[in-house]
Structure 1
Amino acid sequence: MKKILLFSLSIFILTATYTESWSLGHNHEEVNVYSYRQPYLIEPMLERFTEETGIKVNVLFAGKGLVDKMVQEGENSPADVLLTVDIGRLSSAVNSGVSQSFQSGIVESNIPPQYRDPDGHWVGLTARARVVYASIDRVPENEITYEELAGPKWKGRVCIRSGQNAYNLALFSSLIAHHGEIETINWLRGLKANLARTPQGNDRAQVKGIYSGECDVSIGNTYYMAKMRTNDKEPEQKEWAASAKIIMP
């Protein structure tokens, strides 16, 4: 099976790493990228990369299934780089056997070790926070930890999306890393007991739940609040966002 390089969330690294003489594919004048990131987010960076290096970037964008596609393509896969999001998806790609390890002085001098795979299979380039959304009117607290959300104080006041979602799986995994499996299982049971409704929807739907009064707190990624506050196409989301605040756990 052909082995590729993995990156998370940003493609800036291509300029540094490719010009550091990595062998990324069969044609050194082109690099083929499979990307889960939306085109409008990364195309300006890819264009700048081409301007600075003269190397053409061919990109296949998809919302899902790229790792499966590479597994099926095997040695014939044209992919040189997989651009993905979330530590869970990175781990899944590595476990599928499509990646290769690499070494780069530029990467090591610019990316802290906690954002690099110890075995050199991937590099994380940007980070996002999974935070607590809280009602401005009904939650006076400005400090709430993840752990507190499992306490009796929040009985019937919590909204959350499916626990099978990659964002939540990454959060739960981090709690296991910090507290161990037993304590995390107990926390999950407490959180479940505090739910105001069955897990549903996406992160924005949790803010809508706060706006409607179904719940007082929820968990979500920071950037969704910014998207809602500036959403002219769906202005009702501005009202949802105005009802909630972000609390860093």
Structure 2
Amino acid sequence: MKFPKLFKPFLVSAALAIGLAGCSAQKTTTEEEASGPQKAENQEVNIYTARHYDADDEIYKKFTEETGIKVNVVKGEAEELIERLKREGESTEADLFITVDGGVLANAKQNGIFQPVSSEIINENVPENLRDAENNWIGMGTRARIIAYSKERVSPEELSTYEDLTNEKWKGRLLVRSSTSLYNQSLLASFIELNGEEQAEQWAQGIVNNFARQPDGGDRDQAKAIAAGTGDIAIMNTYYVGLLANSEDPEEVKVADSIGVFFPNQETNGTHVNISGIGLTKHSKNKENATKLIEYITGVEAQEFLAANNFEFPVNPQAQKPELLESWGEFKMQELNFDTLGEHNKKAIEIFNKTGWK
């Protein structure tokens, strides 16, 4: 099913290549300014973002239309943007840093690139468990790491927990992407925090033993491999299922129709959830405008747009979810301080290397 867009599509009117150490980043500026009493002359907000989604760009455009505040965007990889912020220091133009993954947000915080955001509106929009304890970063969307399964070859009654995926009954049937994936690193980091290093290593080894094939491709590729019969179950993020289900490619829609979504560990410590977040940079030159943009992104309208177009779960509890997300039902989330994902990242990578999860 196609969900209606809340905001009109737009074209980015200017693009400027920006040199970035070890990578190529792109800077775009929303050019159309709002008219009338809301227009804010010569005001702007500058974003460094590791999220490369059209839905985000549309939200920035709508924000400019409503406030007159220009949104300038530099896109790149998270680690490179963090290093750039550290290198630029007080001279940086960036007001906001946006990225996916709680571990990356924790790393950015540890590197001292954030300052706390003070806003009652943000505090009302986003529950405490989806914000940094000192509001150094604010959640803007979440995605659950679930078990996708073949509706033809697997009954949901056969599924239960992440731990059960190491059971011999899944040998040669399990699909998952590479250990270089931040999502897998944070999943294993959560197990280290909850169960200890020894059990986390045993779990990783059990997953490797049950591989249907060596990890290949992204989450959508795991779903396609289920549809092709390469494996029967996969560990993947929910929002990829939404993107497949709403693809313009009918073959991808068929893939989505062929798989079911299962939220593991509902009787224990809950399904692992990762987060995208926004942080106000330490040396922001446009702090007020940046705060307004965070308030806007976490507001109901923008949250519902992200959910309907990028299929992430909204962080604002007042925002309605689209039909597909509603169809999956409510689920128990893993309760975890997102900072711990960054703290255990190095150990998670060590375990992956030790167990041969490549």
Larger deviation: 221-230 or 47-56? 47-56
2:173 & 2:261 partners in 1: Cα distance?
Answer: 16
Q: Distance in 1 between matches of 2:156 and 2:61?
A: 45
- How far off its partner does 1:241 sit? 2.5
Q: Return the match for 1:48 from 50, 58, 62.
A: 62
Corresponding position: 1:224 with 2:240: yes
Aligned residues of 1:157 and 1:215 also touching (Cα < 8 A): yes
C-alpha distance in structure 2 between counterparts of 1:172 and 1:104, whole Å: 33
2:209 to 193, 200, 203: 193
- The reply on whether 1:133 has 2:148 as its aligned counterpart is yes
Describe the SS at the equivalent of 1:78: coil
* In structure 1, distance between residues paired with 2:57 and 2:220: 26
Question: How is 1:2-21 mapped onto 2 (pairs within 5 angstroms)?
Answer: none
Match of 1:38 among 14, 33, 52: 52
Match of 1:127, SS?
strand
3-state SS of 1:128 partner: strand
| Matched residues, number | 222
Pair 1:88–1:28, CA change in 2 (3 A):
farther
Of 181, 184, 187, the match for 1:168:
184
Corresponding residue for residue 109 of structure 1: 124
Q: In 2, distance between residues paired with 1:241 and 1:45?
A: 27
Mapping of residues 12-91 of structure 1, within 5 Å? 29-38=43-52, 40-64=54-78, 65-91=80-106
Q: In the alignment, which residue of structure 2 is the partner of 1:6?
A: none
Q: Which residue of 2 aligns with 1:24?
A: none
Could you report, residue by residue, the CA deviation over 1:134-153 in whole angstroms, capped at 9, with x for unpaired residues? 01111012443211111222
**For 1:43 and 1:196, how far apart are their aligned partners in 2?**
38
- CA deviation map 1:80-125 (0-9, x unaligned): 1011111122122223322223333222233222111123311112
Structure 1's unaligned 5+ residue stretches are 1-26
- Long gaps (5+) in structure 2: 1-40, 265-358
1:63 CA displacement: 4.5
Shift of the 170–28 alpha-carbon distance from structure 1 to 2, 3 Å rule, reads farther
> Residues 32 and 59 of structure 1 are in contact (CA less than 8 Å); yes or no, is this contact kept in structure 2?
yes
Deviations 1:14-73 (A, max 9, x none): xxxxxxxxxxxxx99221111222352123322333344332222222355222222222
User: CA offsets per residue over residues 137-186 of structure 1, 9 Å max, x none?
Assistant: 11012443211111222122111101221011121122223222222221
Report the CA distance between 1:79 and its aligned residue. Answer: 0.2
Question: Which residue, out of 110, 119, 125, partners 1:95?
Answer: 110
The 1:53/1:239 distance shift into structure 2, 3 A limit, reads closer
1-structure distance, mates of 2:42, 2:133: 27
Query: How far, CA to CA, are the matches of 1:226 and 1:134 in structure 2?
Result: 15
Give the letter for the 1:97 counterpart.
Answer: G
Going from structure 1 to structure 2, the CA distance change for 1:198 and 1:84 (only over 3 Å counts) comes to: same
Please point out which of 206, 222, 238 is paired with 1:206.
Answer: 222
Higher RCO (Cα < 8 Å, 6 or more apart): 2
Preserved contact between residue 116 and residue 123 of structure 1 (Cα < 8 Å): yes
Question: What is the CA distance between 1:213 and its match in structure 2?
Answer: 1.7
Q: Which residue of 1 aligns with 2:275?
A: none
Question: What TM-score do you get using the length of structure 2 for normalisation?
Answer: 0.57
Instruction: Provide the residue aligned with 2:341 in structure 1.
Output: none
Provide TM-score, normalisation by structure 1.
0.80
Structure 1 distance, partners of 2:179, 2:220, is 15
Aligned residue identity for 1:54 = G
- RMSD across aligned positions (CA): 2.1
Cα distance in 2, alignment partners of residues 148 and 183 from structure 1: 13
Q: Read off the aligned partner of 1:205 and give its amino acid letter.
A: D
Which of 149, 152, 166 matches 2:168?
A: 152
Pick closer, same or farther for the CA change 1:183–1:83 going to 2, 3 Å: same
